[in-house]
A and B are shown apart, each in its own frame.
Chain A
């Protein structure tokens, strides 16, 4: 009994932190309509800055400690204001995808900044002066600081309520959440309103991080775990609802606490580690909520959105004869590559082909079907692990393992996709990211089966493919066939129906097209293609690691598609080639490849909203017109 009470209190303490992160995300989205993927990074910055500030101000005195916490939160708030003024202001009119990418570029840059400034080691801060003891609750010792944390959530909720309901600024924020254009037409300068809201959200995330200093070490992966948690909470609570965020934080906080509290339990003779299943349980909670209330516990149905009239692509045209001949020549040239004896180029080209298929599979749902996934690497990774585990754990031959990869990926995509296609736009992006993060944690934590963070080694192809050249040709055939198949499907009734669903869901419904079902099928189908790429990748490297399905790899794929241009069919392959080559060239020379990538994304987003091939094509049409 007493342990249950303590677990319950632990849950409340955790819920406060979750609430602080999620509520800022929700507020910012409400007013600016931007989902801030960097919100977890702001949280991480909060914890690192607070660690240093506590050191600098002196942790012994209460003033020093609490001053440091507040200073860290304010610093993060200020950083948020800068980000809004320097970056987001320029892209409020840009397509949703570009806004998401811009905030993701920040994730990459903040991560490298933290690595540069604080190094890769975990940093544990001191205890809070005056709250460093424990109190006895029903005979169990419970940290005083956690009692304090329990109070933080409701206090912040109350203060936010007062701010939003008892000040004119709050009234304006609520009005802008509903109709920001009208607020502008009434003479309110929204710019500063947006900056203020973004700074407030950043401050809250920073505060959430800073307050964690005495509770957990500052670590480099906190950004993504925090953002995944925050996404789960806003999806469960309802986007834009502050009480919803609070309620969802309580539920998720409690669920997590009880899972950790249960620890290892033997169920039907099988030892289950509940403490490692926290994310899976979170997923189950979210799944249930999504089925029962698709807009979250306290959320409201999204208003049906009409596609913005400015980003309409031209109708599909069958390839010209010249283009088909060009593709044939290119295929022959690629097949002849091993004859040149350039071993390194063969390996690099193997990577490029694999990523071309991976990127094309993402492009298929992103472009024609209009579903922007931020977690596509989950299916790449599932394919790799599916193949690797069947090879190593079941002792199956390579050929069987290679088939198992796409199967596993398609299965995973079918399960996750069933939930994801119920949502659209940014909600879809958030959910795909949350699922990918959950998949990653399962692989990362399940040491006994997946090898955990160390991964698995010995995933080598069969003897007949053991030479790099033979494997390259094998990859060329499979990826070439995959790319051709994806292209063919785009021109089929199924591909057309997906584009129809993107263009006008209303019209689809009126001509008998069950668009959600087709989208689900498409999600599963591209999962299989991504899984094929993943399985080939595993065999090309001979090893597996959780990095294969981590969020940054999902973003790599997005950048490849973006580099090539979302509205072009050849784009993903060109983008994959450019990206992989660049990464190979640059990553060898710097530790900070991620932030370079982030900066590149920002430049692309700010300068070429059509992608590279798309911009070239546009230049071409302009030249033609003149």
Chain B
């Protein structure tokens, strides 16, 4: 299995504090990898170095074999990387369909067009994506009036617009009701397997971690302390101590 994402010896310090230190991991096609760790473990820093929002001090991030360090997020997107955010980031003054159309327009490089009607571009394609994530019937509604769980689905449809090979999801179920969490993650799982997409996600909810990830990596104080299947990680004594144990959830 060739790695879609390969992270090697990634390090980053903020004002003398080593936020991430020598973290390495790899991710293959169709694989769901959860990154967990207590607050302050370096998950967000690590995540932002992968998506290009932060430049690492050292180490490399390869997507499909190409080093992405130093490239802005929008270039990394053009390499086939979709993203969803912890707090959804959608275009609130547009309809659900227009949000997806916007991503398709950008993907096809039609942004500079001054005369075509944007609302008539790639309409069917957008609707197919909305159908796939289960909100086709809400296509005409404004994003600003959508329920939070549905906004998460919009983000997923938007992230799929550039036919990504890698999906980065920051806390995909944050702010959702427990039932919605399970349905959303099941949907992600289905899509990932049918399209052979690799997924890296961070998560607080242990159900979402152990119920849906193929593999789990655990960070603590900037270091990768464990990696393996859910059961392996759950049984790792170091993990129990720093993460699950300290929150009384073992």
Contact = CB atoms under 8 A, between A and B. Distances in A.
Interface of A: 307, 309, 312-316, 318, 488-489, 491-497, 499-500, 502-504, 506-514, 518, 521
Interface SS of A by simple majority: helix
A500 B94 contact: yes
Contacts of A488: 114-115
Interface in B41-98: 51, 72-75, 77-78, 83, 85, 89-95, 98
Contacts of A510: 51, 73-74, 77, 83, 85, 89
Q: Which 7 A-B residue pairings sit nearest by Cβ, starting from the closest?
A: A507-B89, A503-B91, A496-B118, A512-B77, A511-B103, A312-B144, A512-B74
A503 B91 CA distance: 5
B113 A511 contact: no
B85 A496 contact: no
B191 interface: no
B74 A312 contact: no
A313 B102 contact: no
A493 B93 contact: no
B95 to A, nearest CB: 5
Contact of B118 (A491, A507, A511): A491
B110 interface: yes
Nearest to B91: A503
B74 A509 contact: yes
A514 to B, nearest CB: 6
A75 B30 CA distance: 72
B111 A312 contact: no
Nearest to B110: A493
B93 A503 contact: yes
Given A313-B93, A315-B142, 15 more contacts: A312-B92, A489-B115, A492-B115, A496-B101, A496-B102, A497-B105, A502-B93, A506-B89, A510-B89, A511-B102, A511-B103, A511-B162, A512-B77, A513-B102, A514-B74
Contacts of A314: 93, 142, 144
The size class of the interface chain B forms with chain A is: 35 or more
Nearest to A521: B112
A497 B101 CA distance: 11
B144 A497 contact: no
B192 interface: no
A509 B73 contact: yes
Contact of B102 (A307, A316, A318, A497): A497
A314 B93 CA distance: 5
Interface in B95-132: 95, 98, 101-103, 105-107, 110-119, 121
A246 B53 CA distance: 33
A493 B122 CA distance: 11
Contacts of A489: 114-115
> Which of B51, B72, B107, B112: most chain A Cβ within 10 A?
B112
12 contacts: A312-B92, A489-B115, A499-B91, A504-B89, A504-B92, A507-B89, A507-B90, A509-B72, A512-B162, A513-B74, A513-B102, A513-B111
Contacts of A506: 85, 89
Interface of B: 51, 72-75, 77-78, 83, 85, 89-95, 98, 101-103, 105-107, 110-119, 121, 142, 144, 158, 161-162
Nearest to A502: B93
Contacts of B107: 511-512
A529 to B, nearest CB: 13
Contacts of A502: 93
B204 to A, nearest CB: 21
B62 to A, nearest CB: 20
A494 B119 contact: no
A334 to B, nearest CB: 25
Contacts of A307: 92
A521 B103 CA distance: 20
Contacts of B91: 499-500, 503-504, 507
A319 to B, nearest CB: 12
Nearest to A501: B91
A496 B83 contact: no
Nearest to B84: A510
Contacts of B90: 503-504, 507
A496 B73 contact: no
B161 A494 contact: no
Given A509-B73, A511-B103, A512-B77, A312 B93 contact: yes
A492 B118 contact: yes
Given A503-B92, A503-B94, A511 B161 contact: yes
B117 A511 contact: no
A491 B113 CA distance: 10
Given A489-B114, A493-B113, A513 B92 contact: no
A491 to B, nearest CB: 5
A511 B83 CA distance: 8
Nearest to B51: A510
A257 B117 CA distance: 54
B171 to A, nearest CB: 15
A315 B94 CA distance: 5
Contact of B93 (A491, A499, A513, A521): A499
A509 B90 CA distance: 12
A117 to B, nearest CB: 46
A152 to B, nearest CB: 36
A314 B106 CA distance: 22
A496 B117 CA distance: 10
A145 to B, nearest CB: 46
B78 A496 contact: no
Contact of B117 (A491, A509, A514, A518): A491
> Which of B51, B77, B162: most chain A Cβ within 10 A?
B77
Contacts of A514: 74
Contacts of B112: 493-494, 521
A508 B92 CA distance: 13
A503 B92 CA distance: 6
A504 B158 CA distance: 13
> Which of A312, A313, A315, A494: most chain B Cβ within 10 A?
A315
B163 to A, nearest CB: 13
A315 B106 contact: no
Nearest to A567: B93
Given A493-B118, A494-B111, A494-B113, A511 B106 contact: yes
A493 B123 CA distance: 13
> Which of A316, A500, A510: most chain B Cβ within 10 A?
A510
A285 to B, nearest CB: 28
B93 A518 contact: no
A18 B78 CA distance: 47
A509 B103 CA distance: 11
A333 B117 CA distance: 29
Contacts of B161: 511
B92 A493 contact: no
Nearest to B142: A315
A94 B78 CA distance: 39
A314 B98 CA distance: 12
A302 to B, nearest CB: 16
Contacts of A500: 91, 94, 102
Contacts of A313: 93
A499 B144 CA distance: 14
Nearest to B92: A312
A506 B112 CA distance: 20
A511 B158 CA distance: 8
Contacts of A492: 113-118
A502 B90 CA distance: 11
B197 to A, nearest CB: 16
Nearest to A490: B118
> Which of B74, B101, B111: most chain A Cβ within 10 A?
B111
B220 to A, nearest CB: 28
A494 B110 CA distance: 8
A421 to B, nearest CB: 16
A497 B98 CA distance: 11
